[in-house]
Amino acid sequence: MKFGLFKRGAQAGVQKPVYVTAATVAPAPHIEEPAERSHAEIMVIIVALMLAMLLAALDQTIVSTALPKIASDLNGLSKYSWVATAYLLTSAVATPLYGKISDMFGRKKIFQIAIIIFLLGSALCGAAHSMNQLIFFRGLQGIGAGGLMVLAMSVVGDIVPPRNRGRYQGYFGAVFAVSSVVGPLLGGFLADTNSLLGVAGWRWIFYINLPIGLVALSAIATRLHLPVRRSPHKIDYAGATLLAISVATLLLGTVWGGVDYPWGSMQIIALFATSVVAAALFLWRERFAREPIIPPYLFRNAIFSVSSLLSFIIGVVMFGALIFLPQYQQLVRGDSATKSGLMLLPMIAGLMFASVSSGRLISKFGRYRKFPIIGTAAVALAFWLFSHIAVDTSRVLLGFWMVILGLGIGMVMPVLTLAVQNAVERKDLGTATSSVTFFRSIGSSLGAAIFGAILTNRLAHHINQDVGGVVGAHAAKGLSTSAASLRHLPPTVLHEVLTAFAQSFHDVFIFGTPFAILAFVVALFLRESPLRTGAREEAAGEGLETHDL
């Protein structure tokens, strides 16, 4: 273990960050980069990071198709939604905390802790014998998952200069794409398997994380070497508590609203009011905290502010598409859950291609601004095209629209992380990365609630207007109506009901198009800062002690 002191010279002194204005392109901040590694060395670490990120991404999708089987085996159908809610709550709350703590105490050690927490939660979920136990262990698993994605992206920022970072970050977009298809398929297969090696099939949904996680943990422990800053720190516990309260009440309101309680009920209003008050107190607290969770000065950086807002809007739009396209396939086209997942392959192919190719082009030319602009324009076009969806829309045409949507999303998501990491000082890299991820997570949660409410409302309208009667009232109860039960309706009534569903999905994309257009407008304000190509470690402060882990 090597110890050394960094001293500031005239050239190594910390300069004030240069912020971007609407009229100028900001020069790159004075940030020295990590020592350059060979491509082979980087790829070993990248594979380990991708495995860790795969754990979190896969766990968001693999459980969904297996939940009915799990709830049935554990006799907990009434607590069905809490299995997903517990994971969503804890991971969202933990995300910004991991970024700040890793900036304070070092990325590698905190990353290893996050993986261990996730694997412990996975093992306990697989061994759960009651629904209450599963809900609690899913919450524990979410605490670990909150750090996997954000710390993986932050580590990339630590080991690769921004100019070369795009080619590697594109791989992570492919991880999201693969998990969104493989997760539901694998979850459904394991749930349908009564026993595998003497263990109930659904339990392997959680046990499968263990070997993947151990490989990632071993690779990170042996091959990832990062400098760790040593300086006095004080965690802002009050700020963390206020942030947790604000996020938790917001997510509970969006999850329960329109499902467990009416949107105008006192319960939902109280949750949203609590979230707003806690958020206001959090912002006030951050102004005076010694070590703020999300430093307010970051928002004076125009690139950070625009990227955070754009991440939020893209989260709203993207999540709406990912949820409601499979529902359209199942309810209107009568596809199985497995087939509806496979029908998303065109979108996944577009996302993978755009994510990897845009990353390589950014590394080659050192420019990133045009990709979010083109990407958001493609997303807006795709939403407008999907607003023409009908009962008999050609599958080939749907696939073409999905390709456009995937290309758009793939050109936006990785670039925002790159832009933010390039625009902030190295001491804030983890915090800035986690903040962008955090805003996207909040946007996704709100997107699900907003579009879900629109779909339910418009479905009731079209059913009552076009179908009516007892059959219409039954179908209008909501999207709990299964495709199988719809097929038992008389042919003439079935056609009217399916038309009502198709019109409702049409309305969802009509209402979603302005959000996509707003994302395009916001992307126009994203300024470009030249991508750094430095190869030296940053001396984080005068006399700061560092050691190589």
Q: In whole angstroms, what is the distance from residue 301 CA to residue 455 CA?
A: 37
Phi and psi at residue 58, to the nearest 5°: -65, -35
CB 118 within 8 A of CB 467: no
C-alpha 125 chain-centroid distance: 22
Q: Residues 109-168: pLDDT tens digits?
A: 889 999 999 999 999 999 998 888 998 999 899 899 888 888 888 888 777 777 777 777
- Among candidate residues 85, 245, 348, the one with its CA nearest the CA of residue 356: 348
Vertex 41: Cα angle to 114 and 362 (nearest 5): 85
**Tokens read off for 161:** 């200069």
For the chain, give me the number of helices (H) and strands (E)?
Answer: 19, 5
Question: Which of 155, 174, 150, 178 has its CA nearest to residue 165?
Answer: 155
pLDDT of residue 97: 86
Using CA atoms, how far apart are residues 47 and 469, in angstroms rounded to an integer? Answer: 57
H or E element that contains 122 = helix 107-126
Name the nearest CA neighbour of 34 among 232, 301, 225, 304: 225
- CB-based contacts of 196, cutoff 8 Å, min separation 6: 190, 204
Tell me how far apart the alpha carbons of residues 505 and 194 are, in angstroms, rounded to a whole number: 35
Q: How many residues does the chain have?
A: 549
pLDDT per residue over 440-484, tens digit each? 888 877 787 778 778 878 887 888 776 655 455 555 454 444 555
Distance CA 488, CA 482 (A): 11
According to the model, what pLDDT value does residue 117 have?
95
Count Cα atoms within 13 angstroms, Cβ side, for 186: 19
Binned average pLDDT, 10 residues per bin, the chain of 549 residues: 39 40 42 58 83 82 75 73 77 85 83 93 92 89 88 82 72 74 77 80 89 88 70 74 88 77 88 93 88 86 92 83 75 74 81 85 86 94 91 90 91 86 83 85 78 80 70 49 60 78 88 93 90 50 35
pLDDT the model gives residue 544: 34
> E strands within 381-454?
none
pLDDT at position 197 is: 82
- Cβ neighbourhood burial of 329 (10 Å; 0-12, 13-18, 19+): buried
Judge contact between 95 and 293, C-beta under 8 A: no
Pairing between β-strand 545-548 and β-strand 199-200 as defined by DSSP bridges: unpaired
Rounded to whole angstroms, the Cα distance separating 517 from 361 reads 25
Tell me the residue ranges of DSSP E strands in 131-245: 195-196, 199-200, 227-230
pLDDT for residue 307: 93
Give the Cβ contact number of residue 323 at 10 Å.
16
Provide the residue type at 199 as one letter.
Answer: V
Neighbours of 469 (CB within 10 A): 10
